[in-house]
Amino acid sequence: MDHSPRLLALSTAVPPYVFDQHDVMEAVHLQWIGRTEGMQRLLPVFENAGIERRYSCVPMDWLKVDRGWTARNEVYIESAVALLEQAALGCLEQAGLGVEDIDAIVTVSTTGIATPSLDALLVERLNMRRTITRLPIFGLGCAGGVLGLARAASLARTMPGKRVLFLVVELCALTFRRGDRSKSNIVATALFGDGAAGLLLNCEGDGPAISSWGEHTWPGSLDVMGWLVAEDGLGVLFSRDIPELVRTKLRPVVDAYLGDNGMTLKDIDSFVCHPGGAKVITALEEVLELAPGTLSHARNVLREYGNMSAATVFFVLDRVLKADAKGRHLLSALGPGFTVGFLTMDMP
């Protein structure tokens, strides 16, 4: 008997404020150009990012004022719980279920701190069952969507007949720090947006089956991606060499994961990749031997939402599902560690 975790529902959510990429570039120009040597040459990153708009939990004027940890984290908690509620209720509505039908909840987020954790706050807000199993996950960054779903699938497999709600929320806009004029902060300002997603799993039914998952962390790579903790918030740390790392390091790891699960690249019908950036998507197409433009869902999500860190891959998956794609699909995402996460999903 097949006990693979199956996807019952998927819902996405974004906050209310919309940032046009041109408006963000103009705001950065007014804030920094003329005050910092060399800043002018960084402006093309906004035009080359492949992004037209993004969503934010705060208006642009909020970001033009210096904020400390307390103010940022208060907004993080309030906005994160609100988006998680929207994503959770969207999942339940699709599945025709109520909050009382959820047996376990797994939450992923890396853009703020909450103790009690976000899942506890959501349980209280929605009056969920008091016996619900909770698993909050922090620190996985952009890989948190795929790796978190793998953790939720593993939990579902140990709870046959039970329903596991997996939620992810990232509020990247709150990490913008006006006093940080580093290249990493400029690139992050051009790239990141806010969003959330929810997925409902159990081991019954006929939905898409999660058949395998895995990950790989490269040695000596802790400085590739992560946070720098400062008095005024979280500062972005990432290497400009990520596209090249994808080109030179990823393929052997992909082949190893597939081989460990009795597959080769030819057994994959489509790739659901986290769109870290335009150059990363191009590098992924090269490594996976795909024709240029194949990862169109990833590019379109990046263009319309920006990089929402861990949540982004599920905006891509949502489009794949709505396109009624069949066969075997490989989800992947890169994040701090430096780590890649994989998950194989078979569409009926």
**Which of 142, 172, 203, 273 is labelled catalytic?**
142
Chain centre distance of CA 206:
26
What residues are paired with 335 via a beta bridge?
339
Is 57 tagged catalytic? no
Measured CA to CA, the distance from residue 164 to residue 207 in angstroms comes to 14
Name the one residue in this structure whose structure tokens are 């599945």: 95
Written in H, E and C, the secondary structure of 202-269 is: ECCCCCCEEEEEEEEECCCCCCCEEEEEECCEEEEEECCCHHHHHHHHHHHHHHHHHHHCCCCHHHCC
Please provide the size of the chain in residues: 348
Measured CA to CA, the distance from residue 180 to residue 185 in angstroms comes to 7
Q: How many CA atoms lie within 13 A of 302 on its CB side?
A: 23
Catalogue the active-site residues: 142
